[in-house]
């Protein structure tokens, strides 16, 4: 073994560097509040300057009178001290007008609303990691959602399987298969996996661990009477090529007791099938993969995909032991993936979560576009999207439903042009999700992204609001997100949108309430100052009313719960004004 890179030069280092960068981007609410504050400040300064000029003109021309009717300033008869006090009084009135014009309680109202919403969202299975994320979600115009575990239950089960060109029925044994085929099938299941099977000696329930896909395949192996520990002991692993999200497959090289070396590959069915030049029959014989036979297997895959099944293929090839590098040279060894022999194909079902279709429909009716980004092939993605309500047209084609590699090949301008039309992206890599997020943001969308894997971290970090999964999500994904969905359910994402809109609505109510009070006080003082040179409300009175009204109004309006009417509004996005 040798070290080839450390620190930021490793893939992990590059990933952590990309998600630790702070782009200092303001949230949609901050942008609008800054605009409102700037506008109010300008209005206050203009009015104060106008009042200052008028009061100075009235004072120094002898038009300002005392309560007893005497003139406050008479040229040649008014002392310096009295003049200074008169000027200070006028300046105080002008400054007070500026202070009254600006709603000082707004930061308090915003903070109270966000904090209250954050606490209440915990009851709706959403843990807020960044306070401003509460309101950002209310401005979301699109949600890019994963499929597995978010839209579906993440409980994969093998429901169809093809081995040796024949389809095995559910719960079928391996009696139809020859010992050679049986050995290869069980070896592929037991060795080419990141999961494990624990078989208690007391005969209690067998425990299967690993990712949902691995657990489904291992459970299928148990149905085929596989003894996991025994199969593992029959051969030794020489080298592992972990599953790659770009290549959509993973492999392992094993050597048996008879010194035969097998390289097993497992991955996306149509991708593995394309690498096969032979196929294995039930009697153990090997036949050439002719175009007709390849189309036959491809038809199986398409049929499974139309039933919303995830298709995984198994293939292998023999390897001459002389071609195996020495142990110290295997670190950079690429397992051969050509001239493979197809062993079998399995179709796994991951049913949609209850209530997902209603949640998607609610988002659609409220103006939030839901897009599904998945690693499954287009047929499976289409079937799930139709079941969830993301797609309504079974015959939809590109760019509504698009493959990741096609989107990836576009230029930046082309990606921005088609991004708005995309509803489903199949066979996508984590980088494709990141490119989609960037394109949507450039088009003016406020983008929410769900993710659970380490590779999803850049997209979660880039999005306006990142939502990681609390159950299946990795620690890296959670650290990169703004909100953690504790039950991994898309319906909880919709509840977060509801609370976000409540934050926005409460702040709107506060500003309308506060400006009504401030404008009324401002008009009274301005009119009185211009007409008589005096103000009915002095500085202390104005500040007292302003601060007390701000505080109590913030407390009352910040804690209003969300209503169903909020989801009937269209999202505010980035471009609209707060008022």
pLDDT band at residue 82, thresholds of 50, 70 and 90?
A: confident
Which pairing describes strands 142-145 and 369-373: parallel, antiparallel, or unpaired?
A: parallel
- Cβ neighbours of residue 494 under 8 Å, at least 6 residues apart? 359, 362, 363
Angstrom distance (rounded) from CA 172 to CA 176: 9
pLDDT higher than 90, residue 414: yes
Mean pLDDT score across all residues of the chain: 84
Averaged pLDDT, 201-212: 83
Q: How far is CA 97 from CA 45, 90, 106, 447, in A?
A: 8, 11, 17, 40
Strand partners, 279: 287, 342
157-349: CATH topology is Calcium-transporting ATPase, cytoplasmic domain N (3.40.1110)
Neighbours of 115 (CB within 10 A): 15
pLDDT of residue 266: 95
Task: Say whether 504 sits in a helix, a strand or coil.
Answer: helix
Q: How confident is the model at residue 46 (pLDDT cuts 50, 70, 90)?
A: confident
CATH for 28-115+500-568, options being 1.10.10.10, 2.40.50.140, 1.20.1110.10, 3.40.50.1100:
1.20.1110.10
Contacts of residue 201, Cβ cutoff 8 Å, sequence gap at least 6: none
pLDDT at 157 over 70: yes
Helix (H/G/I), strand (E/B), else coil: 239: strand
CB 282 within 8 A of CB 165: yes
Distance CA 140, CA 459 (A): 16
Q: Virtual CA dihedral for 390, 396, 401, 402, nearest 10 degrees?
A: 180
Determine how many CB atoms are found less than 10 A away from the CB of residue 295: 10
pLDDT, average across residues 234-246:
88
pLDDT at 39 over 90: no
Q: Is 146 a catalytic residue?
A: yes
Query: Among 11, 127, 124, which Cα is nearest to 481's?
Result: 127
pLDDT at 73 over 80: no
Domain ranges of the chain: 28-115+500-568, 132-153+353-493, 157-349
Count of CB atoms within 10 A of residue 48's CB? 22
pLDDT tens for residues 158-168? 989 998 778 88
Contact 433, 456 (CB under 8 A): yes
Beta bridge partners of 262: 254, 318
Q: What is the largest distance, in Å, between two alpha-carbon atoms of the chain?
A: 123
Contact yes or no for 156/213 (Cβ under 8 A): yes
| Closest C-alpha among 412, 410, 364, 367 to residue 391 | 364
CB neighbours of residue 479 within 10 Å: 17
User: Which secondary structure element, helix H or strand E, spans residue 296, and what is its range?
Assistant: helix 291-306
Residue 306 pLDDT class (50, 70, 90 cuts): confident
Inform me whether the pLDDT recorded for 541 exceeds 90: no
- Provide the token pair at 505: 């609505």
Instruction: Give residue 423's pLDDT band: very low, low, confident or very high (50, 70, 90).
Output: very high
The CATH class of 132-153+353-493 is alpha beta
Which residue, chain included where needed, has tokens 């009696």?
175
* pTM, entire model: 0.75
> Tell me, what DSSP letter sits at residue 577?
-
Q: What is the spatial distance between Cα 195 and Cα 86, in angstroms, rounded to a whole number?
A: 85
Cα atoms in the 13 Å half-sphere on the side-chain side of 93: 28
pLDDT score for 63: 65
State the Cα–Cα distance between residues 568 and 566, nearest whole angstrom: 5
Token code pair at residue 436 = 């989609």
Residue of 68, 146, 487, 550 marked catalytic: 146
Pairwise pLDDT comparison (196 vs 90), residue with the higher score: 196
* Confidence check: pLDDT of 170 > 60: no
Which of 513, 511, 537 has the alpha carbon at shortest distance from 523? 537
For residue 192, what pLDDT is reported?
A: 92
pLDDT of residue 24: 59
Q: Is residue 67 pLDDT above 80, yes or no?
A: no
132-153+353-493 and 28-115+500-568 share a CATH fold: no
pLDDT at 141 (0 to 100): 93
Predicted local confidence at residue 11, as pLDDT: 60
Tell me the C-alpha distance between 14 and 431, whole Å: 14
% of the chain surpassing 90 pLDDT: 35
pLDDT for res 252: 95
407 pLDDT tier (thresholds 50, 70, 90):
very high
Q: Is 258 exposed, middle or buried (0-12, 13-18, 19+ CB in 10 A)?
A: exposed
Residues 6+ positions from 167 with CB-CB distance below 8 Å: 160, 161, 300
Higher pLDDT, 509 or 578: 509
- Shortest CA distance to 446 belongs to which of 362, 360, 579, 570? 570
Residue pair 231/186 in contact (Cβ under 8 Å)? The answer is: yes
Residue 409: count of CB within 10 angstroms of its CB: 10
């Amino acid at each position: 073994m040798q070290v080839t890179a450390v620190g930021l030069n490793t893939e992990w280092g590059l990933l952590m560097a990309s998600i630790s960068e702070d782009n200092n981007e303001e949230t949609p609410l901050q942008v609008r509040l800054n605009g409102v504050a700037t506008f109010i400040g300008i209005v206050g300064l203009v009015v104060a300057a106008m009042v200052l000029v008028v009061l100075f003109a009235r004072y120094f021309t002898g038009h300002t009178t005392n309560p007893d009717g005497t003139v406050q300033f008479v040229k040649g008869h008014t002392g310096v001290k009295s003049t200074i006090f008169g000027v200070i009084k006028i300046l105080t009135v002008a400054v007070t007008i500026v202070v009254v014009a600006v709603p000082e309680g707004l930061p308090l109202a915003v903070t109270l609303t966000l904090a209250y919403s954050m606490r209440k969202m915990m009851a709706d299975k959403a843990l807020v990691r960044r306070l401003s994320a509460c309101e950002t979600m209310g401005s979301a115009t699109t949600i890019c959602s994963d499929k597995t575990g978010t839209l579906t239950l993440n409980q994969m089960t093998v429901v169809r399987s093809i081995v040796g060109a024949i389809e095995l029925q559910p719960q079928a044994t391996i009696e139809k298969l020859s010992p050679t085929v049986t050995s290869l099938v069980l070896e592929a299941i037991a060795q080419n996996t990141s999961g494990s099977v624990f078989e208690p000696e007391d005969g209690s329930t067998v425990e299967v661990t690993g990712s949902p896909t691995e657990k489904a395949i291992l459970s299928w192996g148990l149905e085929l009477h596989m003894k996991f520990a025994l199969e593992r002991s029959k051969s030794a692993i020489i080298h592992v090529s972990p599953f790659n999200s770009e290549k959509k497959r993973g492999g392992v090289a094993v050597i048996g007791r008879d010194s035969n070396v097998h390289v097993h590959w497992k991955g996306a069915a149509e991708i593995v099938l394309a690498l096969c030049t032979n196929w294995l029959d039930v009697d153990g014989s090997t036949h050439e993969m002719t175009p007709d036979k390849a189309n036959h297997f491809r038809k199986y895959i398409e049929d499974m995909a139309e039933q919303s099944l995830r298709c995984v293929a198994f293939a292998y090839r023999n390897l001459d032991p002389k071609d195996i590098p020495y142990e110290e040279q295997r670190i950079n060894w690429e397992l051969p993936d050509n001239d493979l022999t197809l062993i079998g194909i399995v179709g796994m079902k991951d049913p949609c979560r209850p209530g997902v279709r209603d949640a998607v429909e609610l988002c659609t009716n409220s103006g939030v576009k839901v897009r599904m980004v998945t690693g499954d092939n287009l047929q499976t993605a289409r079937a799930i999207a139709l079941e969830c309500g993301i797609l309504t047209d079974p015959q939809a084609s590109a760019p509504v439903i698009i493959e990741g590699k096609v989107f990836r090949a576009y230029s930046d301008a082309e990606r921005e042009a088609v991004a708005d039309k995309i509803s489903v992206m199949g066979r996508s890599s984590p980088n494709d999700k990141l490119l989609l997020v960037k394109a949507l943001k450039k088009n003016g969308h406020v983008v929410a992204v769900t993710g659970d894997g380490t590779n999803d971290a850049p997209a979660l970090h880039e999005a306006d609001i990142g939502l990681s999964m609390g159950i299946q999500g990795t620690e890296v994904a959670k650290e990169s997100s703004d909100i953690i969905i504790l039950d991994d359910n898309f319906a909880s994402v919709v509840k977060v949108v509801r609370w976000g809109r409540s934050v926005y609505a409460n702040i709107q109510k506060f500003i309308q309430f506060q400006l009504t009070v401030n404008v009324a006080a401002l008009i009274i003082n301005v009119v009185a100052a211009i007409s008589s040179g005096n103000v009915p409300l002095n500085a202390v009175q104005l500040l007292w009313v302003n601060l007390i009204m701000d505080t109590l109004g913030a407390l009352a309006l910040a804690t209003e719960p969300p209503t169903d009417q909020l989801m009937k509004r269209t999202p505010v996005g980035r471009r609209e004004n707060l008022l």
